[in-house]
Structure 1
Amino acid sequence: MLASLIDLSAGLLLVLALRKPARRLFGAGPAFTLWLWPVLLGALPWLPMLPVSWHVLPPVIAMPAAFAASAPLAPAVSGSVPWMALWLVGAVLALLRLVLAYARLRRRCRPLPPELLAHCRHEHPSLDPRRLRLHPQGPAVLWSWHSLILLPADFASRFGTEQRALVLAHEQTHLTRRDPLWSVLAEVLSALLWFHPLAWLALPRFRLDQELACDERTLRRHAHDAGSYARTLLASTGMDAAPVLIPWLAEPQLKERLMMIRRDRTTTARRLAGYLGAVLFIAGVGLAAQAAPLANEPSAKATQDLQVNTRMQPRYPKASIINKEQGTVVLKVLVHPDGSVKTVDYDPKASTTTSANLIAAASDAAMQWRFHPAMKNGQPIESYALVPVKFSLHELPGTTTKDETEKMAAEMPQIH
């Protein structure tokens, strides 16, 4: 979870730094696609990694005789639990706010009057009349299963014929680009990241880049109407941004949108180069993240310091004995160059038990172990080792043969 948050934060910082240069070089459309980067970077830790060969050490045997009366019946409550509870409360409240805002907007939607519907059909024949609704916060687009175009009651009197056609073309472009869906996803992510200042800094800039990309695409189809488009914006009344709603004009966006209309000279080749660059970047980052474990694989393996580790055997939890829990817990141990244990992770794919008590007992013991670190060019290096910890209610210590150890290692050659 922490790795995803760090990667997502790095993605947000990257987009905030590059969005304006990308817009000037490649256009508003490619610049808007940069907002996919934070989401994809945040998802990288959850993607399957390329297989890595880890060094499997001989299994450690834990027996019931090894448990002490003071051993805990269950793993201790993690210090992250209160923070997770706080995040969950905040996320639920933020999502509830989003749902209530959406419900209020939907309640105020009404069918379009016949006269206004006739105007819209005449000025934009390709518009689906089933998507049109009367709403005091129009012109705007509202997400739904079939997203809606909201128009105010005075739409016909507020805008001239040419202006109405441009406004409708703009809103239709939003639907074509699936902007209402992207807007909802951005709102949901902001609600989940309610504690993150970068999320709230990014959201209004996401909305602006979305509008600029929509303007750019609309003007490519109505290039001769650029002047009228700018005058329509100047004659419009700005609205405050509302969750899940994309207004025709949000107050802070006017200056940027007028500047884009005046300066937009992006060629098709540059736009395509921008899209290609955005895709290649995230593809390269993904491949690098997946190949990272391969770069860290040592040429020599770390081995246990048995003189120390034999005194730090896992304690068989009393609760596990009562519940007759047994099986093998496979630990991924990251060994520091000084031989101490840096991190211990549970490998669910290679383990034969999911008992929280057994996993906690094995991990607690492993954190106290010592290793002879791997060597590279005569220097100790950070390295990994897989240590199977076998909890058995029947076997006696020392009964695992060399052949059984080799068989266990052979069954786990590739750990993801």
Structure 2
Amino acid sequence: MLASLIHLTVGLALVLLLRRPARRLFGAGPAFTLWLWPALLATLPWLPAVPVRWHWLPSVAVTPAGFAVAASNVPATAAGVPWMTLWLIGSIVALLRIALVYARLRRDSRPAPAELLARCQHEYPTLDTRRLRLHPQGPAVLWSWRSLILLPADFTRRFGAEQRALVLAHEQAHLARRDPLWSVLAEVASALLWFHPLAWLALPRFRLDQELACDERILRHRAHVAGSYARTLLASTGMDASPVLIPWLAEPQLKERLMMIRRDRTSTTRRLAGYLGMGLFIGGVCLAAQASPRTTEPGAKATQDLQANARMAPRYPKASIDNKEQGTVVLTVRVNPSGTVKAVDYDATTSTTSSANLIAAASSAAMQWHFNPAMKNGQPIESYARVPVTFSLNELPDPQKQPSEDTKKH
């Protein structure tokens, strides 16, 4: 999880740094695809790596006695549970807020009157009028299984015929680009990353880049209406962006959108080059992550630092004892040249248990282990090991507790 968070942070930082230069070079459409980078980079630690040779190390035995000792000596906060609980509470609150706002938006939307439907159909023949609803926060697009176009009750009075056609074309472009779905996914991601400052910084910029890409799409096919499009924006009453809602105009976006309209449109060649460049970058990063294990010595073998690891032995979870869970958890451990653990994964193919409690107990202990690193040409290198951790409810004999010969005689 920590590796994914680090990759996500790097991705967000890259997008925030490159979004403006990419927009100037390739256009708003290719620049908007940069927002895929954080999500894709976050998945890299979970992608299967190129197969390498994993060396088996001696098994680690865990019994309920280990749990009893740990329970009396280790503080309850050592496992980091409060931090996970805090993250979970914050995420639930943020997601509930989005759900409540969405429910309120759906509740306040009403069917559009037949007169408005007929006029919109006449002025914009390709419009799917089944999507039209009346809502005070319109014009806007709201995500749904069939995403909705929200229009204000005074839509025909507020906008002239040409302006209405441009507004409807803009909302249709949002639907064609699947923007309502991307907007909801961005909102959910921000809710889960409520603790991350870059997530709060990124969300309004994501919304702006989404609008700029939509504007560019409209003007690419209607370059002759750029002046009317700008006047329509200026004549509109801006509103603050709400969760799960894509408004026609949010006030902070006005300046950037007007500047984009004034600039010359990016050529098709440069736009295609931008899309290709974004795809090649992500593909290259994924391939590099996949191939990274080849840079190490496949035959290198690390060994456990038994004296140090004895103090970090896995603890038998109480829930597993109560549920009579036992078996062997096989861990695949990547060892840094320093001997610290780089990554720990669960090998389902060779393990004899799938208990989440046992897997978590073994993995959390293994992340604190230390190894004697493998050597190549006298230098420590990254290496790979399989470590079986056997959880058994049968107590192992303790030599110190065996009766002495004198005791037996009495």
Alignment match, 1:23: 23
Is contact 1:62–1:390 with CA below 8 Å preserved after alignment? yes
Is contact 1:73–1:318 with CA below 8 Å preserved after alignment? no
2: CA distance between counterparts of 1:180 and 1:382? 45
Using the alignment, how far apart are the partners of 1:318 and 1:224 within structure 2? 69
Query: How far off is 1:2 after superposition?
Result: 1.2
Alpha-carbon spacing, 1:293–1:76, altered in 2? closer, same or farther (3 Å) = farther
Equivalence for 2:129 = 129
Counterpart residue number, 1:347: 346
1:281 aligned residue: 281
Per the TM alignment, residue 335 of structure 1 is displaced from its structure 2 partner at its CA by: 4.7
Q: Match of 2:122, SS?
A: helix
Alignment of 1:130-149 (within 5 A): 130-149=130-149
Find the counterpart in structure 2 of residue 402 from structure 1: none
Task: Name the amino acid aligned to 1:71.
Answer: V
**Distance in 2 between residues matched to 1:25 and 1:390, nearest whole Å:** 57
Q: 2:53–2:299: 8 Å Cα contact kept in structure 1?
A: no
Read off the aligned partner of 2:205 and give its amino acid letter.
R
- Matched pairs, number: 392
Give distance in 1, aligned partners of 2:149 and 2:176.
12
Please tell me whether residue 4 in structure 1 is matched to residue 15 in structure 2.
Answer: no
Which one-letter code corresponds to 1:348 in the other structure? D
- What is residue 205 of structure 1 aligned with on the other side? 205
CA distance in 2, matches of 1:265, 1:362: 53
Structure 2 unaligned segments of length 5 or more: list them. 399-410
Q: 1:157 to 1:342 in 2, by over 3 A?
A: closer
Gaps of 5+ in 1: 398-416
Q: What's the CA shift for 1:342?
A: 4.0
Please name the residue that 1:84 is paired with.
84
Partner residue, 2:226 = 226
Q: CA deviation at 1:31?
A: 0.5
Cα separation, partners in 2 of 1:335 and 1:242, compared to 1, 3 Å: closer
1:71 matches 2:69: yes
- Identity score, percent: 69
User: Residues 334 and 382 of structure 1 are in contact (CA less than 8 Å); yes or no, is this contact kept in structure 2?
Assistant: yes
Aligned pairs for 1:86-105 (under 5 A) are 86-105=86-105
Change (3 A) 1:176 1:362: closer
Please list the CA deviations of residues 120-163 of structure 1 after superposition, one character each: whole Å capped at 9, or x if unmatched: 11110110111111111111111111111111121111111111
Query: 1 CA distance for matches of 2:317 and 2:6?
Result: 38
AA at the equivalent of 1:278 = M
Aligned-residue CA RMSD (Å): 3.4
TM-score (structure 2 length as normaliser): 0.84
For the Cα contact (< 8 Å) 1:362–1:389, is it kept in 2?
Answer: no
Q: Which has the higher helix share?
A: 2
The structure with higher relative contact order (CA 8 Å, sep 6+) is: 1
* Alpha-carbon distance between aligned partners in 2 of 1:141 and 1:365, rounded to the nearest angstrom: 49
Q: CA deviation at 1:48?
A: 2.3
SS at match of 2:43: helix
Deviation sequence 1:84-113 (CA, Å, 0-9, x none): 111111111111111111111111111222
Residues 353 and 76 of structure 1: is their aligned pair in 2 closer, same or farther, counting only changes over 3 Å? farther
Distance in 2 of aligned mates of 1:302 and 1:112: 70
User: Residue 375 of structure 2: SS of its match in structure 1?
Assistant: strand
Distance 1:130 1:334, change over 3 A: closer
Task: Tell me the distance in 2 between the aligned counterparts of 1:344 and 1:268.
Answer: 44
Pair 76,55 (structure 1): closer, same or farther in 2 beyond 3 Å: farther
CA contact (8 A) 1:297 1:383 kept: yes
Structure 2 Cα separation of the partners of residues 69 and 126 of structure 1: 68
- Does the aligned pair in 1 maintain the 2:70–2:315 contact within 8 Å? no
Encode CA deviations 1:233-254: one digit per residue, 9 max, x unaligned. Answer: 1111111111111111110111
Q: Deviations over 1:283-311 (max 9, x none)?
A: 111121222233234543234578x6998
8 Å Cα contact 1:12-1:38 kept in structure 2:
yes
| Offset at residue 117 of structure 1 (A) | 2.0
Partner residue in 1 for 2:236: 236
The question of whether the paired residues in 2 share the 8 Å contact of 1:327 and 1:390 is answered with yes
Deviation at 1:273, TM superposition (A): 0.7
- Give, as a single letter, the amino acid of the residue that structure 1 aligns with 2:112: L
- Counterpart of 2:195 in structure 1: which amino acid? F
In 2, are the aligned partners of 1:63 and 1:396 still within 8 Å (CA)?
no
The SS at the match of 1:241 is coil
Shift in CA distance, 336/148, structure 1 to aligned 2, threshold 3 Å: closer
**SS of alignment partner, residue 35 of structure 1:** helix
From the superposition, tell whether residues 141 and 49 of structure 1 become closer, same or farther in structure 2 (CA, over 3 Å). Answer: same
Q: Distance in 1 between matches of 2:56 and 2:295?
A: 18
Instruction: Tell me the equivalent position of 2:254.
Output: 254
Q: Sort the Cα spacing of 1:220 and 1:311 in 2 relative to 1 into closer, same or farther, 3 A.
A: closer
Structure 2 Cα separation of the partners of residues 295 and 389 of structure 1: 28
